[in-house]
Structure 1
Amino acid sequence: MRQTWRWFGPKDLCSVDDMRQAGVEGVVSALHHVSTGAVWTPEEIARRQHEIGRMKDGAPSSLAWEVVESLPVSEDIKKQQGDWRTHLANWKTSMRHLREAGIEVICYNFMPVLDWTRTDLAWRLPTGGTCMRFDLIDFAAFDIHILARPGAAEDFAPEVVDEAARRFAEMTEDRKAGLARNVVFGLPGAAESFSLADVRQHLAEYDRISADQLRTHLIDFLAEVTPLAQELGMRLCCHPDDPPFPLLGLPRVMSVEADYRAVTEAVDLSANGITLCSGSLGARPDNDLPGMMDRLGDRVHFLHLRNVLRETDGIGASFHEAEHLGGGTDMVALIASVLREEGRRKAAGRADVSIPFRPDHGQDILDDLGRQAQPGYPSIGRLKGLAELRGIMTALEHPVEGLR
């Protein structure tokens, strides 16, 4: 398992020096300042590689840009409208430029409108730390009363609708504005963010697109880009929906194991793979993460290891970002499954034996609380998570492990 770290570029409050001191082996980054749909030029890619390769004093960092997260898929591609064919051609050109620069792994997602959804970006924990949280009642209050989406109340249980109305009635104007900002936060580190008007426009355009249609558009996209990735020796890996259940009346097509199986079988090339995100998928009680890794592991090209704690029952549950070993996913069992897959790859002589992973998200603790870093990406919280994950890996790979 190759230890990587997400970096948003020079504006990231976690520096290259910090990553080096954390002991990571590679960097996950993207050209967040480039507009979605535009070509990533060789010059911009080389600039990011240079930034990663140098510490503050100019000394070599020994780190390299190893995983792209994300090369964004435009809304036009997802909807197959507007400039989608141009955006698709540009995506393929960007792939070529990335491969020419030595980068092999591209993480992307096919979530409509919003990249991830939370109602609170700094929810206070009993420890005094903070984390990101999805509160179903708050989200219903946003959907029904702030966004005022037609038919929104029909998507929630009656008791949720009633409680959302009570909670909304008690909200201050500042609280309403803050909730709206959190929900439409948009793409982390991306060049664009959304207003309520933007969200309403996108939702209207998705009225005609069912889950089956969106899945067809995803397969059409993969049918275009995957053969090129295979030819170039690249690996594409789709991130799951976050959270992995329907929101805002939008279709969801990458939420459960069957979704991944359908897409990988439809475009059956090894380059068409999976980003197994234990936090996103773990927000559903019916997703068995160690089992998914066992069954789909040969297509897993990238791992996000984090944990969430579901606070309510059912598929559409409230949850918050837990400590990496403290949520609903058995992280020891999941990492054991990853190591088994790496053993199979080694025996088969595959070049991609070591699967890159990053400690995804993290709670804000200690000095993180005053830094105001990118939501979900504190330095110390992620370092704590990486240390815990590294400990599990070391223990499971140790020669005495089999003696117990």
Structure 2
Amino acid sequence: MEQTMRWYGPKDPVTLSDIRQAGATGIVTALHEIPNGEIWSVEEIQKRKGLIEDAGLRWSVVESVPVHEFIKRRSGNFQELIENYKKTIINLASEDINIICYNFMPILDWIRTELDHELPNGARTLNFEMKALAAFDCFILRRKGAMESYPPGIIKKAESYYANLDTKGIEKLKRTILDNLPGAEVGYTLDEFQQALDNYQNIDRAILERNLHLFLNEVLPVAEENNAFMAIHPDDPPYPILGLPRIMSTTADIGRILSENNSPNNGITFCTGSLGVRKDNDLVQIVKDYGDHIHFVHLRSTKRDEEGNFYEACHLEGDVPMYKVVKELLQLQEKRKKQLPMRPDHGQQILNDLSSKTNPGYPGIGRLKGLAELRGLMHGILNQNN
């Protein structure tokens, strides 16, 4: 697979030189400075592409072209925003950048409740705890209906968790959930977030599914005409949160999205971390069943429990059967005669990462370790009979 790393542009503390030294050949990035819904001009795309190529790398995948909330809700000037999205696809394709990762998660992109969870070996990692989310939802945000959204056992744990938070701890939990995370384009105050939730009060799962279908109805013909491939990212975490519907969490969701908009240019970002949080998602079977529609691969592993809690494990540990998954992906790649772009998704903070400024989940050394492990795994699989 093509080895890539995510880069957040010129302000990313992990530089293009760092990424090249890690052994990657491709870059996954976006024009994060352009507000959601605006057209990415050819000039701005060329400028970013030039920086990448001057560093000896190539812009392999766009992650992401954000889908505006008005499009997800089909409100406001959503039709104008869809037209802008089409123009961005055309402009990217004109520069031979033709894999576009996106998601259809309402309001929040991926969410965690702790960004610096310390492991026994001293490394730090991203962590999600249901009791912490419930504490935020029920006792900080105080969302209407929040108490009915969680099992009684979780509510009891959330009460105890919240009772032990001081003012600093409450503020840290708020900021962890509401502030910009890499990939998200906006942050919220508590009041702004409640208003954003209120905007979705009449949008259930069925309506959000329909809105995605209608969005793809419009953008896929443009993608087909321009040899561009849309790759939807799974929900993270892959279950409803804060009263918001989720529509890309399970194997059945993948099947629905691909069948309702049947096109070779309609596909998925196969994220083993997001999908692997659910025990009922058979990752190897997903590759077997939907491999022709996998346009981009995120390899990471999580360690989950029965309550829905999980943390980011090392890439070859956790609950993801990484050997079996990578072996199946390599067989898929051979069958398709087309190299799949892959990146090590997320990474633990280790060594100098612990004292360096990094984007949450995207430290330099932790991801280098993950890429090296995955590279070694691929090498072993490909050469096991030699």
TM-score by length of 1: 0.94
* Residue aligned with 1:5, SS: strand
Aligned equivalents of 1:283, 1:188: Cα separation in 2: 20
Residue 152 of structure 1, aligned match among 146, 156, 160: 146
Q: CA deviation at 1:199?
A: 1.5
- 8 Å CA contact 2:181–2:360 kept in 1: the answer is no
Percentage identity across aligned positions? 44
Q: What residue number does 2:57 align with?
A: 63
- 8 Å CA contact 2:37–2:84 kept in 1: the answer is yes
Alignment of structure 1 residues 352-391 onto 2, 5 Å:
353-391=338-376
* Residue aligned with 1:369, SS: helix
Aligned equivalents of 2:181, 2:98: Cα separation in 1: 23
Residue 210 of structure 1, aligned match among 198, 204, 210: 204
Aligned equivalents of 2:261, 2:198: Cα separation in 1: 30
Kindly indicate whether structure 1 or structure 2 has the higher relative contact order, using CA contacts under 8 Å at least 6 residues apart: 2
- 8 Å CA contact 2:28–2:61 kept in 1: the answer is yes
TM-score by length of 2: 0.98
Aligned equivalents of 2:279, 2:211: Cα separation in 1: 28
Unaligned stretches of 5+ residues in structure 2: none
Q: CA deviation at 1:192?
A: 2.3
Count of residues paired in the alignment: 386
Q: What residue number does 1:396 align with?
A: 381
Amino acid across the alignment from 2:350: I
Amino acid across the alignment from 1:44: E
Q: What residue number does 2:262 align with?
A: 268
Q: What residue number does 2:99 align with?
A: 105
Alignment of structure 1 residues 3-402 onto 2, 5 Å:
3-54=3-54, 61-188=55-182, 190-310=184-304, 312-314=305-307, 317-346=308-337, 353-398=338-383, 401-402=384-385
Aligned equivalents of 2:316, 2:130: Cα separation in 1: 24
Q: Which moved more, 1:249-258 or 1:190-199?
A: 190-199
With over 3 angstroms needed to count, the CA separation of the structure-2 counterparts of 1:104 and 1:210, relative to structure 1, is: same
Amino acid across the alignment from 1:252: R
- 8 Å CA contact 1:123–1:131 kept in 2: the answer is yes
What value does the CA root-mean-square deviation take over the aligned residues?
1.1
* Residue aligned with 1:309, SS: strand
Aligned equivalents of 2:39, 2:339: Cα separation in 1: 29
Q: CA deviation at 1:170?
A: 1.5
Aligned equivalents of 1:206, 1:191: Cα separation in 2: 18
With over 3 angstroms needed to count, the CA separation of the structure-2 counterparts of 1:187 and 1:223, relative to structure 1, is: farther
* Residue aligned with 1:53, SS: helix
- 8 Å CA contact 1:34–1:191 kept in 2: the answer is no
- 8 Å CA contact 1:114–1:187 kept in 2: the answer is no
Aligned equivalents of 1:16, 1:103: Cα separation in 2: 18
* Residue aligned with 1:123, SS: strand
Aligned equivalents of 1:207, 1:299: Cα separation in 2: 33
- 8 Å CA contact 2:64–2:183 kept in 1: the answer is no
